[in-house]
Amino acid sequence: MADLWGGRFTGQASELMEQFNESFTVDKRLWRQDITASIAHVTMLGETNIITIEESADLQAALKELYAEIEADPEILSGNHEDIHSFVEAKMIEKIGDTGKKMHTARSRNDQVTVDMKLYVIESLKDLKLTVQEMIKAFNAKGESVDCLMPAYTHLQRAQIIKFSYLLDAYVQMFTRDIKKIDAAIEIADENPLGAGALAGTTFDIDRQMTTDLLGFSSIQTNTLDSVSNRDFILDGLQVFSNLMIHMSRFAEDFIIYSSQEFAFVESSDSFSTGSSMMPQKKNPDALELIRGKAGKIIGLMNGMYSIMKGIPLTYNKDMQEDKEIYFEAFDTTLACVQILTGVVEELIVNQDRLNSTVNDGFLNATELADYLVRQGLPFREAHGVVGAMVKGAIEQNSQLHDLSLETMQQYSDVIQADVYDYLEPEKIMQRGTKVEM
């Protein structure tokens, strides 16, 4: 392997060390960002007369040519290279000889790798945002296409009546917060580290504003020590993924339960389910289970990155090279989960009759009965006690609150009138107070 530091060394790195040290197999994914940042860098080197305008033009042309070549044939990204940076430099030397050797003037791989990763993270977060927005559309569309009531739960015990669409909206709210977090992560990352050099700048009179503008960053990251040792933007990305994953995982858990035969509220479509090799009757919600499982993996990757960063001294340390494998894996997984969940929701079969019928049992109108008593003049705590006793009585009779006779009800409280039945109708409940929002 050709290395970038031969002068200081007499011995060769062992093959084992070369393999251990290399990151090309992982960071070749940064080729677009590396070439783009290099074009900005050599443009600036020309404009500031650190290299000649001709040399700068040759480098720019050769970099653009390489970009087009890789786009046409990604297989070019192969061979024995330490990382994407040494690969691109080797290609420049191959293409334009000595001028290629000037590309790395006033730059280090430390600011280079940071700028590449920042560009990658910002782009990937923008892609993720669009994908989450599509998922939100799917949730809203499903909510609009279904018009039925259902029980909502606390402690997985039937609690109160809601509309099915309202449950989906709860997830839409979570994903909307995730989008705000994506925007915040992009905003925080949006400072240009290029020009920080290895750690303490360069003796050349570079123009950091120029590369900042060329690369589309909003500002220059001023402290160079911070610039090359900062991986907060990776951690922020991983936090965004983890947050999004726990939201998707909670949806997965809800709908795995709801698709069990005991609940039978929903059924996942054949295209997002799998069967069993042994039990012919099975239709398993594998897509949702995988999302739930992968959420654990993403949180693990985030924790891994935090552990890497927690104790390393300023500034750049090779530990940080691990960031790419972690980030790419976490990003790919999260993006795939968003796409899969979008499909699951689009094709979700909602058993509306079953859902509508569930709201008639399980004492889902108990709180509303207590509210009724309050309207008749009872203090809420007293009303709560009365309804509690009525529920107990109804259970003993194997009955529901709205099935108790008026006479029976009046034994618990004489303020109860015949209008109570109308009051306890699920549809009527939904029309009162704050319950009509969806």
242 is catalytic: no
> 155, 247, 249, 307: which is the annotated catalytic residue?
155
Question: Nearest-CB residue to ligand ARG?
Answer: 321
Residue 33 as a binder of ligand ARG (CB under 6 A): the answer is no
CB-based contact 66:91 (threshold 8 Å): yes
- Between 111 and 371, name the residue whose CB sits nearer to ligand ARG: 111
> 78, 276, 307, 357: which is the annotated catalytic residue?
276
- Range 282-301, binding ligand ARG (CB under 6 A): none
x/- mask, ligand ARG, residues 370-409, rule CB under 6 A, reads: ----------------------------------------
- Between 30 and 70, name the residue whose CB sits nearer to ligand ARG: 30
Question: Can you tell me which residue has the tokens 């990763």?
Answer: 117
155 is catalytic: yes
Of the ranges 235-243, 276-284, 315-323, 380-388, which one interacts with ligand ARG (CB under 6 A)? 315-323
- 35, with CB counted inside 10 A (0-12, 13-18, 19+), is buried
# chain residues binding ligand ARG, by CB under 6 A: 10
Residue 83 as a binder of ligand ARG (CB under 6 A): the answer is yes
- Between 163 and 324, name the residue whose CB sits nearer to ligand ARG: 324
- Between 168 and 309, name the residue whose CB sits nearer to ligand ARG: 309
x/- mask, ligand ARG, residues 97-136, rule CB under 6 A, reads: ------------xx--x-----------------------
Q: Which residues bind ligand ARG (CB under 6 A)?
A: 23, 27, 83, 109-110, 113, 316, 318, 320-321
